[in-house]
Structure 1
Amino acid sequence: METIEESVFARKRWVLEKMRAFGFRPVGDGYVLERSFLDGDFKAVLSVTEKGAVTGRVIDAISQDDYYQLRQKNATGAYVNTVRAAYEQLLEDVAAACCQDVLFASDQANRLTQCILERFQVEPDFPWERAERYQSYGTFRHASNRKWFALIMRVKRAVLDKDGNPALVDVINLKIPPEHGEALLQLPGVYPAYHMNHKTWISVVLDDTQTDEAIMAWIEGSYRLTE
């Protein structure tokens, strides 16, 4: 399951100069920020690795213990909701001060977005951005007929591997000739399309399992098939 921190920072990239100015201090191979909130009743400790991964702790100022209720789904009382909302607001403030926005969570998705812009002069649109579950889904459309030729989504690994893995990953859905499906599905990182016709669409994981060049070739094929 996605953590509070992952949800806030998924489509952000850290800017080191801004982090330092905001109060992050170097610790080991990363940076740490400590901030009190809710009138000093709690302390947030954020740790950011050199690769930008974020973890956080919320510590009760009186007991000096981690406030575990923060992450318990079944903890829905007024007090825990107040703490949770205040912590999320603190994270949003940190993101606004220390990060720059990116369109997608994975580096490969953002690189391919730039390649699509340069090759086809198409930028993604986000038709479900008001729906929390689907707000990161970006579609790439033909200017002429508004048909999709690519769709980038952030989904759980479990929907691809059917193994219960809750980790989130960016995937791109692309149209293919039906006769190419069997061969493509033998390749690592390529799956039957999530939420689309398995005979004519594939999902490709954007975690650098496949190269940008290989995926761009499939994108170009999808573009032609949807004209």
Structure 2
Amino acid sequence: MMIEDDVFRRKRFVPSKMTTFGFTKSDGQYICETDLMDGAFHAILSVSEKGAVTGKVIDRMNDEEYHQLRSRQFDGPYVHSVRQAYVQWLRHIGETVCDGVLFASDQANRIAELILDQYDVKPDFPWEEKPYQSYGAFRHADTRKWFALIMNVQWDKLLKNKDETRVDIINLKSDTLEEAVSRYPGVIFPGYHMNHKTWISIVLADVLPDEVIMQWVRSSYALT
């Protein structure tokens, strides 16, 4: 269970705020520590200069990492209390030292800005249920039809490889689906949760340049 990814998915760390909060910097990592559960546990959060987050909770009784925190098999009252205390600490950090962003990846946020600049369209978030509440739809002002949809999904949804790591993708209507999928394997897929014959999904992980993706955005805007 990647608790940290869930808490910080749509947030960006601000170094000046981190320093004020109490983070220390060492070897390119910002580190913050605290005790939990009246000192029974010790939590350590590390954030790289690029924003990659890792966390660890140490059981003071045996000075070992408390792995039960991350296992779905352990959800008794005590484990739940430890997990809740850790999540509350992470959320407090997020609210204090982070700025909110629309999407998880830098490229998804840049694409959203480019769409705003070119079409004066901001995304709306029509779903309330997790994890769909982070899905942003870009619509035509007159018809309200989507021309783009940015989603945060597990790699397994695209590759069927049981990889639970999450990635931002953008769904776009396309009349060159077969060409796009064959030209960029592993980056462009038949549309996830859309018509596989007329929509594509592009991975937003800085593999393709923004302008290349925007060419498909413009095409989708015209086709819809």
Shorter-chain TM range is over 0.9
CA RMSD of aligned residues (A): 1.0
Partner of 1:143: 141
Partner of 1:184: 180
Q: Which amino acid is 2:19 matched to?
A: R
Structure 2 gaps of 5+ residues are: none
In the alignment, the residues of structure 1 paired with residue 15 and residue 183 of structure 2 have an alpha-carbon distance, to the nearest angstrom, of 37
Deviation per CA, 1:177-211, whole angstroms, max 9, x where unpaired? 2xx12111112211100011011000000011111
Aligned-residue sequence identity (percent) comes to 51
In the alignment, the residues of structure 2 paired with residue 181 and residue 118 of structure 1 have an alpha-carbon distance, to the nearest angstrom, of 26
Deviation per CA, 1:111-167, whole angstroms, max 9, x where unpaired? 000000010000001111x21121211100111011000000011111212222221
For residue 34 of structure 1, report the CA deviation from its aligned partner. Answer: 0.5
Alignment: residue pair count: 222
| 1:114-125 map, 5 Å | 114-125=113-124
For residue 40 of structure 1, report the CA deviation from its aligned partner. Answer: 1.8
Partner of 1:169: 167
Over 3 Å off, 4+ runs: none
- Is 1:131 matched up with 2:119? no
Partner of 1:85: 84
Q: TM-score, normalised by structure 2?
A: 0.96
- Is 1:50 matched up with 2:45? no
Partner of 2:151: 153
In the alignment, the residues of structure 1 paired with residue 154 and residue 115 of structure 2 have an alpha-carbon distance, to the nearest angstrom, of 25
Structure 1 gaps of 5+ residues are: none
In the alignment, the residues of structure 2 paired with residue 61 and residue 18 of structure 1 have an alpha-carbon distance, to the nearest angstrom, of 29
For residue 26 of structure 1, report the CA deviation from its aligned partner. Answer: 0.9
In the alignment, the residues of structure 2 paired with residue 172 and residue 117 of structure 1 have an alpha-carbon distance, to the nearest angstrom, of 15
In the alignment, the residues of structure 2 paired with residue 164 and residue 208 of structure 1 have an alpha-carbon distance, to the nearest angstrom, of 22
For residue 176 of structure 1, report the CA deviation from its aligned partner. Answer: 1.0
